[in-house]
Amino acid sequence: MADFKRSVVYQIYPKSFCDSNGDGVGDLRGVTSRLDYIRDLGADYIWLTPFFKSPQRDNGYDVADYCSVEPMFGTMADAEELLREAEKRGIGLMLDMVFNHTSTAHEWFQRAMAGEKKYQDYYIFREGAPDAPPTNWQSKFGGSAWEYVPKLKKWYLHLFDVSQADLNWDNPAVREELKNVIRFWQHKGVRAFRFDVVNLISKPAVFADDPTGDGRRCYTDGPHVHEYLQELARDTGLCENVTVGEMSSTSLAHCIRYTKPENKELSMTFSFHHLKIDYKNGDKWALQAPDLAQLRDLFATWQEGMEAGGGWNALFWCNHDQPRVVSRLGDDEKYWKESAKMLALCIHLMRGTPYVYQGEELGMTNAYFEDIGQYRDVESLNYYRILQEQGLTEADIMARLMARSRDNSRTPMQWNAEKNAGFTSGTPWIDVPTRKSEANAEAEKQDEASILSFYKRLIRLRKERDVIAEGDIRFICDVPGIIAYERTLGNEKIAVYCNFTGESIAVPANGQRCLMDSYEDVPMMKDGRLTLRPYEGIAMAD
């Protein structure tokens, strides 16, 4: 069985992980210095978000040179050392390939701006009047997705920030350039890749307005996306590597196609539908309580659907774009530990490859910033302005940012309870949250009942029991507030019951032996009924 099915990936946001030189910004040598921590956790791969040369408008997702290291993060020698040291510990590095767009500081874009036709064809330029963008599409970070360049009398497309210009994948020269980037890193020994918003790479043949939406239906999972991914994999031998595609607003049918082994595209996909259950009317910036029934239905659909179609999911709650899950779906005060552990159990025992985002294993919470001056993220700052223009009160805007800002997950990794959480000896580029200083690696390492120890046991369990990596999945027990499922492989069976509410709930249950309980306690089982305490998560074996 493919190794990625048994693996766990640990995601590092280098800027916020560990600062080795006291400049307040995390760096590659900082990551190297903490490799033993990741080995002890049991992770097999480290996904590093981009550390390539970049003006950092979007913290590295605006790449100016895919084959060099941003000086803020260190040198190429530091990257090579990290790779070697990780390999020594049996850990592979997964690099983040941002291939939908480059920074406008990239040489290709600069040459396009200087008038070179060859490089204009690397991007998506359209003629047009300065007051009439080619389509009504909206940027994912707010405002129009088109920017006018007066000296060229042309617009260019940017689905993200204005400094992130979309590449033209229909141009074979672009595809060749990007293959060379992969080869460059493979040659250095990299054997895993994440592809940023890769289902947006194939734009439609004809650019037209979206009559009802923001344009995403026009370019998501576009006409040649499968063909381009197959070509990329074929020409670079990516099928020998572990690959994951980040899929924005995708569908189950497409994710099956992206990940079915015989299609030779990707090992697995990230999809995000389960993280929109608290978006009111689908709007990230409008708050509502999480719709737990919808959450359960989405998991059931995607888990059972990917199994039926022969696809493979990446499993995750957290990443550098999402608020912290314990603050979002758990209770980060009264049931902090219980809920953080329940959430871990729920996601890790599903069918797919789990991803742990730095600090999640410690139960790190949202930032709870109270001042706009504390925010750093380009999307958050754009929306602060947009929501102001919409006439919202300051208090309302701040409440929305507190719940939704990407900076919630970008606060410094909490290594200890000392100043700056042990992240830096200087001034951190972003504040450490004032709540939950006990969520730190040093304290949790000593404590058998900590969230960290629970994650370690959970990761170990995956290696010990084939049913977790290989078993079938069926969702059971349709009780409001509960997510429960069974995994089966031959005679081996595991049942998982998770209470997503702050109330006790009794459910019909069977299973003889408790494998893990987020209360670190004996489950309350009697006469075929299991009473789940607030935010209790239990895994039972037959």
Strand, helix or coil for residue 96: strand
196 touching ligand GLC, by CB under 6 A:
yes
**Segment 302 to 331, residues that bind ligand GLC, using CB under 6 A:** 320-321
268: which strand partners? 244
143 touching ligand GLC, by CB under 6 A:
no
Contact of 277 with 295, CB cutoff 8 Å: yes
Q: How far, in Å, CA of 200 to CA of 43, rounded?
A: 30
61 touching ligand GLC, by CB under 6 A:
yes
CB closer to ligand GLC out of 160 and 384:
160
CB closer to ligand GLC out of 170 and 321:
321
Q: What is the largest CA-CA distance in the chain?
A: 77
Q: How far, in Å, CA of 514 to CA of 516, rounded?
A: 6
The residue behind tokens 């980037």 is 181
**Cβ 197 to ligand GLC shortest distance, Å:** 5
Task: Tell me the number of residues near ligand GLC by CB under 6 A.
Answer: 9
9 touching ligand GLC, by CB under 6 A:
no
CB closer to ligand GLC out of 63 and 494:
63
Strand, helix or coil for residue 28: helix
One symbol per residue from 72 to 111: x for binding ligand GLC (CB under 6 A), - otherwise; what is it? --------------------------x-------------
Whether 196 is a known active-site residue: answer yes
Whether 246 is a known active-site residue: answer yes
Q: Which of 96, 161, 196, 278 is catalytic?
A: 196
360 touching ligand GLC, by CB under 6 A:
no
**Cβ 72 to ligand GLC shortest distance, Å:** 17
Please list, in sequence order, all residues whose beta carbon lies within 8 angstroms of the beta carbon of residue 290, skipping any fewer than 6 positions away: 277, 278, 328, 329, 500
**Cβ 61 to ligand GLC shortest distance, Å:** 3
**Cβ 258 to ligand GLC shortest distance, Å:** 16
Q: Name the burial class of residue 372, with classes exposed (0-12), middle (13-18) and buried (19+) by CB atoms within 10 angstroms of its CB.
A: middle
**Cβ 466 to ligand GLC shortest distance, Å:** 32
Using Cβ positions, the residue closest to ligand GLC within the complex turns out to be 61
CB hemisphere CA count around 280 (13 angstroms): 8
Q: Copy the structure tokens of residue 360.
A: 């999640």
CB closer to ligand GLC out of 270 and 423:
270
Q: How far, in Å, CA of 539 to CA of 516, rounded?
A: 5
197 touching ligand GLC, by CB under 6 A:
yes
Q: Copy the structure tokens of residue 334.
A: 């009264």
**Cβ 270 to ligand GLC shortest distance, Å:** 9
CB closer to ligand GLC out of 56 and 420:
56
483 touching ligand GLC, by CB under 6 A:
no
**Cβ 249 to ligand GLC shortest distance, Å:** 11
**Cβ 218 to ligand GLC shortest distance, Å:** 18
Tell me how far CA of residue 414 lies from CA of 232, 258, 356, 365, in angstroms: 38, 36, 15, 11
- CA dihedral in degrees (350, 354, 274, 141; nearest 10)? -170
Q: Single out the residue of 26, 46, 27 nearest to residue 36, CA to CA.
A: 46
CB closer to ligand GLC out of 214 and 520:
214
Q: How far is CA 314 from the centre of its chain?
A: 9
CB closer to ligand GLC out of 103 and 267:
103
Q: How far, in Å, CA of 121 to CA of 368, rounded?
A: 44
Strand, helix or coil for residue 62: coil
**Segment 224 to 253, residues that bind ligand GLC, using CB under 6 A:** 246
Q: Which of 246, 360, 486, 536 is catalytic?
A: 246
**Segment 376 to 415, residues that bind ligand GLC, using CB under 6 A:** none
CB closer to ligand GLC out of 258 and 335:
258
497 touching ligand GLC, by CB under 6 A:
no
Please name the residue ranges forming H helices in 267-393: 292-309, 325-328, 336-348, 378-389
58 touching ligand GLC, by CB under 6 A:
yes
**Cβ 54 to ligand GLC shortest distance, Å:** 11
CB closer to ligand GLC out of 15 and 400:
15
Strand, helix or coil for residue 157: strand
Contact of 343 with 455, CB cutoff 8 Å: no
Side by side, the strands of the sheet bearing 505-508 are 505-508, 529-532, 524-526
One symbol per residue from 145 to 164: x for binding ligand GLC (CB under 6 A), - otherwise; what is it? ---------------x----
Catalytic residue list: 196, 246
Site residues (CB under 6 A) for ligand GLC?
58, 61, 98, 160, 196-197, 246, 320-321
